[in-house]
Amino acid sequence: MAVRAVRGAVQLERDEAGHMDDQVRQLLTAILERNALTPDDLISVWFTATPDLHSDFPAAAARGLGIVDVPLICAQELDIAGALPRVVRILAHIESDLPKSQIAHVYLGAAATLRKDIAQ
């Protein structure tokens, strides 16, 4: 089993706690499903949010999915002029037998524009 990293992002339509919870759950679920992972395969997860998101911690959505024994941390993205607004990003460290080239990075909705080279 190797340690790998998987990325993902989603753009929220609005800064509202319930909406953030729903969108982050969808993103995290898609990352797990597309990489055939279970919560036991997670080592740690970093969540970042753009400075315009204030309604909740993105990591709360993971806890709501039952991911309770994995270290999670939230941080704020840099405030760069012209950057896509209302974006939550995930960087998950995982245990997987997949080679790096087969890791499915997940960019949902408008966030797919962030990484056209790896977005699914």
Each residue's pLDDT tens digit in the chain (120 positions)?
899 999 999 999 999 999 999 999 999 999 999 999 999 999 999 999 999 999 999 999 999 999 999 999 999 999 999 999 999 999 999 999 999 999 999 999 888 888 766 655
Q: Which residues contact 102 (CB under 8 A, 6 or more apart)?
A: none
60-67: long-range contacts at Cβ-Cβ below 8 A with a sequence spacing of 24 or more?
60/21, 61/20, 61/21, 61/22, 61/24, 61/25, 61/28, 62/24, 62/28, 64/21, 64/25, 65/25, 65/28, 65/29, 65/39, 66/39, 67/28, 67/39, 67/42
Alpha carbon 98 to its chain centroid, in Å, reads 19
What's this model's pTM, rounded to 2 decimal places? 0.93
